[in-house]
Amino acid sequence: MLVWNKTNVSHLLSRVLFGYSRADLERAMGYGNFNDLLDLAILKDLAMPAPPDTWVDLTPEQSQLDRNMAGPWFLQLTKWWYSRMFQESLSMREKMVLFLHNHFSNERQKVNYPQYVYKQNQLLRKYAFGDFKQLVKDISIDPSMLIYLDGNNSRGTGPNENYAREVMELFTLGIGNYSETDIKQAAKVFSGWQVKGLTAVFDATRWYKEANVTVLGKTAKFDNNSLIDHIFTQTAAAEFICRKIYKEFVYYKPNEAFIKKMAEVLKQNNFVLKPLLKFLFTSEEFYKPEIQAAKIKSPTELIVGASKQLELKNPDLQNWYDMAIILQMQLFQPPNVAGWEGQREWISSTTYSYRAGFTDSLLSGKRYNGTNVSGKLDPIAFARTSSNAEKPKEFVEEMVQLFVRFPLTESRKAFLLEVLLDGTIAANWSTYTPNADARINKFLKALMRLPEYQLA
């Protein structure tokens, strides 16, 4: 039986949000049960956000876009998305947008036009909880995807196979569930689309001429939509998508028996994602003790989450942007069509030290290279938002519970208390004494440098 308590709610928030603050956790607990928390907050449909600027509606011809313009616009677009993540409250939408961005991986370096990348990002947001099958249909003629996987100039007489391959291998079925012949025939079907202005248009003269083609055992005069409908009739489709969701939000080693249950829910709901997500987040499987705190935070989860935990009012988004590149997770620039692999790939001897450097910068106001960071923490004000601010042992315990999902040993907590006290005794601790701000900063640095802090 699923138990409603702070441990389980904290676990849920750690997986569906980019971190959370004390206020977020208190607000979540106020719903009193998982159904209301999910229906009224986490999975609630929201209005689409306003665009970052008016340039999103300029065609490449209108904007006369060149490389000097692309960089600043991509920077603005990335900061805009970071702001969506930071201001998400208890909504999972932006977490799903990032999941879908990684699933339908496109690299800005090849697409080049920020307008197309923005429109794809909004497309992913539109379907974050919605009809996954329809999303695949829409993304098959999305300008960014047409450019990235070379469908823009694909003709039926000599079709480019890139999208046909990836729609089966990476987007819907997985390796082993289609043949090379299926790819070659499907490529003909996906031909004929070209990017014009900010949209895609179909040119029948560029489409395949055969009366019928055979794909995945069915012979028909397919178009994009009917072929994608056929792909989703394959048994592998629902399980493939559920496996990706499980590995992202539950555990990197999939439980195949449970994935089959997820797949049944997905198929029963005609591939709409919201019922599947609710099924997952109200399952006992999701809350198993061995699954909690067993996910390595992605750089985006670390960057946004640390800032939320510290309740920063105006975090330095340029610092986020620059550090994300160093931590190997630049938004809109995944490494390849397969996206970021995640989990253990996020941590290396190099990136681990830079992770600590980032969390340090939120406290010191200085990056590892000495550059100033705006919006740093006011340690005294932050500490005094806690009712335990003047009780050092209790304050350490509260911060540990908020910041770290993996259970700390008593010796580790004792070490953190020593760092906070910094030579004084507990009886003399006060946030009103000289150097209290430096002591709080030192404690928070030590807390956020722990290996356990890297887990969600």
pLDDT tens per residue, range 345-376: 999 999 999 999 999 999 999 998 899 999 99
Note down the domain range covering 402: 379-454
Backbone phi and psi for residue 200, each to the nearest 5 degrees, phi listed first = -115, 140
Q: How many residues does the chain have?
A: 456
Q: 205: closest CA among 163, 157, 161?
A: 157
Residue 225 domain-assigned?
A: no
Query: Residue 368 has what pLDDT?
Result: 87
Q: Is 372 helix (H, G, I), strand (E, B) or coil?
A: strand
Q: Tell me if 409 sits within 8 A of 346, measured CB to CB.
A: no
pLDDT of residue 235: 96
Instruction: Say if 86 falls within a structural domain.
Output: no
Task: Give residue for tokens 């998508």.
Answer: 241
CA-CA distance, 456 to 435, in Å (whole number)?
32
Distance CA 163, CA 123 (A): 18
Question: pLDDT tens digits, residue range 376-422?
Answer: 999 999 999 999 999 999 999 999 999 999 999 999 999 999 999 99
Q: Where is the domain boundary, 266, 287, 308? A: 287
Give residues with Cβ within 8 angstroms of 312, minimum separation 6. Answer: 362, 375, 376, 377
Helical packing angle, 392-403 and 410-421, nearest 10°? 120
Instruction: Report the pLDDT value the prediction gives residue 83, as an integer from 0 to 100.
Output: 98
Calculate mean pLDDT across residues 241-250.
98
144 in a structural domain:
no
**Residue 129: inside a domain, yes or no?**
no
Counting the structural domains of the chain, the total is 2
**67 has pLDDT over 70:** no
Residue 64: predicted pLDDT: 66
pLDDT for residue 262 is more than 80: yes
The pLDDT confidence band at residue 65, using thresholds 50, 70 and 90, is low
Query: Does residue 423 sit within a domain?
Result: yes
Give the model's pLDDT for residue 69. 79
Using DSSP, how many helices (H) and how many strands (E) does the chain show?
Answer: 23, 4
Judge whether 19 lies within some domain.
yes
Q: Give the rounded percent of residues in the chain with a pLDDT score beyond 90.
A: 96
Q: Is the pTM of this model over 0.85?
A: yes
Tell me: pLDDT of 291 over 70.
yes
Burial (CB < 10 A; 0-12, 13-18, 19+), residue 353, is exposed
Identify the domain boundary among 287, 304, 328. 287
Mean confidence (pLDDT) of the chain: 97
Q: Do the Cβ atoms of 399 and 449 come closer than 8 Å?
A: no
> Residue 449 is encoded by which pair of tokens?
């440098």
Residue 339 lies in a domain: no
pLDDT classification of 1: cutoffs 50, 70, 90: confident
Stretch 423-428: mean pLDDT, rounded? 95
Q: Is residue 208 within 8 Å of residue 215, measured between CB atoms?
A: no
Q: How confident is the model at residue 66 (pLDDT cuts 50, 70, 90)?
A: low
* Dist CA 99 CA 43 (whole Å): 15
In a domain, 417, yes or no: yes
Each residue of 302-340: pLDDT tens digit?
999 999 999 999 999 999 999 999 999 999 999 999 999
Rg (CA), the chain: 24
Of the residues 270, 287, 304, which one is the last residue of a structural domain? 287
pLDDT of res. 379 = 98
List pLDDT tens digits, range 163-178. 999 999 999 999 999 9
SS3 213: strand
